[in-house]
Amino acid sequence: MSVFTTVTAEDLQPFLKRYAIGQLVDLQGIAAGVTNTNYFVTTSHGRYVLTLFETLKAEELPFYVNLMAHLAQHGIAVASPIANLDDDYIDTLNGRPTLLVTCMPGRVIDTPTPVQCAQVGEMLAQMHRAAAHYHGRMANPRGLAWWQAAATAVYERMAPADAALLRRELAAQAAADFTALPQGVVHADLFRDNVLMDGEQVGGFIDFYYACNDALLYDVAITLNDWCVTVDGDIDTARARALLVGYGAVRPFTAAEIAAWPLMLRAAALRFWTSRLLDFHQPAAGEMTFAKDPGHFQRVLSHHLARRDFWLA
Ligand SMILES: Nc1ncnc2c1ncn2[C@@H]1O[C@H](COP(=O)(O)OP(=O)(O)O)[C@@H](O)[C@H]1O
Ligand SMILES: N[C@@H](CCOP(=O)(O)O)C(=O)O
């Protein structure tokens, strides 16, 4: 359940007077999601999603919110932020910073088809192109230094063989240099639960709160590691090829990216192995989420380490 801060119709009516989106018709809490409070808000003008940020502060939001506005202006399937009458996207309700966005069509899917993977790959490449001239900058908050710190916090709770694998992979990634690859703004968490699919089309990318500047190929690897792997963590070839063909048709991969691909797939798996290990062994105080299985991304990584054929383009 992701309504952490309750909002009533009485709370919302004065808030909506600061916007030009009509009268409140309906208000429904959204059960999905794990970090923020989300409501569907229906007004006489249409349907919107209201987010109350539970951890991010108002001053931390402009990079993400302006990025969403920039991408929406360029025709990317992302929710479009709605400005209030003071021309601000970020407002306040019940003690939380808020954002109102347009409601996107579609739903989260568990088992994508190759056609859907191709559409996600295509939209991801278009998003990378559209973000190329976005002026905001954000260092990756979940980069190598963070993986190393997370690993240090959990090594002693891990089985020795698993800890040894983690140490070896961190050493391999510390020796890697991805800075010469094409860089830009990446979503950095484009899992299935952060994409609404409207049939075979992308209805919308959501949850941009890990977006940052990094190698574009890192985003492709993160996306593929979730959309195109089997339950045992191996790559599903049909889905993976579809996603990569969809992406590469819009932004062809460079020779340097093709060379970096095996290590990048491992980096993307390591990112979520370490964050899930930390959530599992050291859940944050008061956190209301169920820890996701770290073992899944360990298996994804192990499959990548064992693989000999890496097809990118
Ligand atoms: N713009 C939107 N249009 C339609 N549904 C949305 C939109 N934004 C969020 N949702 C719905 O809210 C759910 C939770 O959103 P999400 O951003 O994942 O929350 P959290 O930040 O808590 O993880 C999504 O699974 C989706 O069903
Ligand atoms: N998609 C990730 C979750 C990302 O959020 P985090 O705050 O738990 O790092 C996953 O499935 O692990």
Complex confidence, ipTM? 0.93
Would the CB of 76 count as within 6 Å of ligand 1?
Answer: no
Q: Which of 29-43, 47-61, 120-134 has the lowest mean pLDDT?
A: 29-43
**Whether residue 288 has pLDDT greater than 60:** no
C-alpha 38 – ligand 1 centre gap (Å): 7
Shortest-distance atom of ligand 1 to CA 36: 22
pLDDT for position 311: 82
- Per-residue pLDDT at 313: 60
Going by alpha carbons, the residue nearest to atom 18 of ligand 1 is 33
Nearest CA owner, ligand 1 atom 26: 32
CA of 271 to the centre of ligand 2 (A): 9
> Per CATH, which fold does 114-306 belong to?
Aminoglycoside 3'-phosphotransferase; Chain: A, domain 2 (3.90.1200)
pLDDT given for residue 289 in this prediction: 57
- The predicted-structure confidence for 195-210, as pLDDT tens digits, reads as follows 999 999 999 999 999 9
Ligand 2 centre to CA of 70 (Å) is 24
This model's pTM is above 0.90? yes
Predicted confidence band of residue 6 (pLDDT cuts 50, 70, 90)? very high
Q: How far is the CA of 216 from the centre of ligand 1 (A)?
A: 24
Residue 32 confidence (pLDDT)? 84
% of the chain at pLDDT higher than 70: 97
The reported pLDDT for the residue numbered 284 is: 65
H/E/C letters for each residue in the chain?
CCCCCCCCHHHHHHHHCCCCCCCEEEEEECCCCCCCEEEEEEECCEEEEEEECCCCCHHHCHHHHHHHHHHHHCCCCECCECCCCCCCCEEEECCEEEEEEECCCCECCCCCCHHHHHHHHHHHHHHHHHHHHCCCCCCCCCCHHHHHHHHHHHHHHCCHHHHHHHHHHHHHHHCCCCCCCCEEEECCCCCHHHEEEECCEEEEECCCCCCEEEEHHHHHHHHHHHHCECCCCCECHHHHHHHHHHHHHHCCCCHHHHHHHHHHHHHHHHHHHHHHHHHHHCCCCCCCCCCCCHHHHHHHHHHHHHCCCCCCC
Mean pLDDT of all residues in 126-153: 98
The fold adopted by the segment(s) 9-102 is Phosphorylase Kinase; domain 1 (3.30.200)
pLDDT at 167: 98
pLDDT band at 109 (very low <50, low <70, confident <90, very high): very high
Domain boundaries, the chain: 9-102, 114-306
pLDDT at 285: 55
